[in-house]
Amino acid sequence: MNIIDRFLKYVSFCTTSDEHTNMTPSTPGQMEFARYLADELKTIGLQDVTLDSNGYIIATLPANVEDEAQVPIIGFIAHMDTSPDASGKHVKPRIVSAYDGENIVLNKAENIILDTAKYPEILHYVGQDIIVTDGKTLLGADDKAGIAEIVTAMEYLIAHPEIKHGKLRVGFTPDEEIGHGADHFDVKAFGADFAYTMDGGAIGELEYENFNAAYCSIKVHGVNVHPGAAYHKMINSMRIAFQIAVMLPRWETPEHTQGYEGFYHLVGMQGTVEETTLSYIIRDHDRTRFESRKRELEHLVRKVNREYGEGTVEILMRDQYYNMREKIEPVMHVVERVEKAMQEVGITPIIKPIRGGTDGARLSFEGLPCPNIFAGGENFHSRFEYLPVPSMQKASELIVRIAQVQ
């Protein structure tokens, strides 16, 4: 199966993750896809293919060199779920052949258009075949492109034993998009010396820095009284929640920050007079500023409680992952290997920090150095997501080159 057909098959599975189910994997479609993938890996010739009850797949391509002990064991990892930010059900992809640089009408009936003025990056791919959606769902290149690239590379290496490589390990995880992709990943059983997540964006991206990340839930307790008799009695939890929200720096939000700048991001708000909950994510590349951001939220809660009474506002905070840079810098050869491989296959490396996180960030802190490599797609988590076919093909070629004995 060629890489295009493989990817189109993968996006037919609905694998949207759901943080509210408290299950692993969080949705049944992920396990359905995992069973398909496990069978496919066996069919193409990988060995020791396992699929556990949590939906994690691990497989092996044995080394084909004589002195195997002198060659590192390299892993390649991607995630099976798609983001809940947009529907992943009934994805209807189509290929725009030899893209001409004009706006792409995704859905004529509903006037959904991929506008080059809003998404100018697409102009980098003029003349290329591009896979798009019908404008009603995301595409799923994040991260089914990564999976297709890894599987296709393994199939190529099996078909070309003249390409010498050490032992390779493949890992596919569920629930990365809701922050649980590494929860049940057995680093020891995986047994790689280092690995790469194929989970980045545009061609050439290579990342070994990411945000430090935390989740914060702020619950405000109010008192409801009939509005006609509410004088000095009612405490409207929604109004207090709004007060907290506007106390945070206005410009330190995702829509006003870039590069290494961190932010507070209000991702959810549910409320009544009696009770309101604000859900935040906190992000910063710098660990000191990250800790300062958390302390600032705790300070605001204490301040509001002094005004309205202790216990009016409760805060729950948990760290999600940390910047992998501190774990990668001591083993920079894992990054340099990719830079060299990119140059050898005609890709210009684009090394930049991730304004987000990957499974690789958590795995790096668990003893598996794991930088992130492009998967090729753009506009992830959106119905305007698209995937240039040459980018996907080049990513698979890159995996082959990384795996090859240096």
Give the catalytic positions in this structure: 81, 176
Q: CB atoms < 10 A from the CB of 108, how many?
A: 10
3-class DSSP assignment, residue 310: coil
Q: Nearest Cα to 37, choosing from 81, 83, 89, 68?
A: 81
Pairing of strands 205-207, 350-351: parallel
Q: In the β-sheet with 130-132, what is the strand arrangement from edge to edge?
A: 94-96, 130-132, 387-388
In this structure, the chain runs to a length of 406
SS (H, E, C) 54-109: CCCEEEEECCCCCCHHHCCCEEEEEECCECCCCCCCCCCCEEECCCCCCCEEEECC
Q: How far apart are CA 34 and CA 193, in angstroms?
A: 25
Q: Is 48 left (phi over 0), alpha (psi -120 to 50) or beta?
A: left
Are the beta carbons of 3 and 153 closer than 8 angstroms?
A: no
Joined together, the tokens standing for residue 358 give 């990957």
Are the beta carbons of 385 and 142 closer than 8 angstroms?
A: yes
Element (H, E) at 365: helix 359-365
In angstroms, the Cα distances linking 394 to 131, 132, 203, 401 are 15, 18, 8, 10
**C-alpha angle 104/99/138, rounded to 5°?**
50
Q: Which amino acid makes up residue 88?
A: G
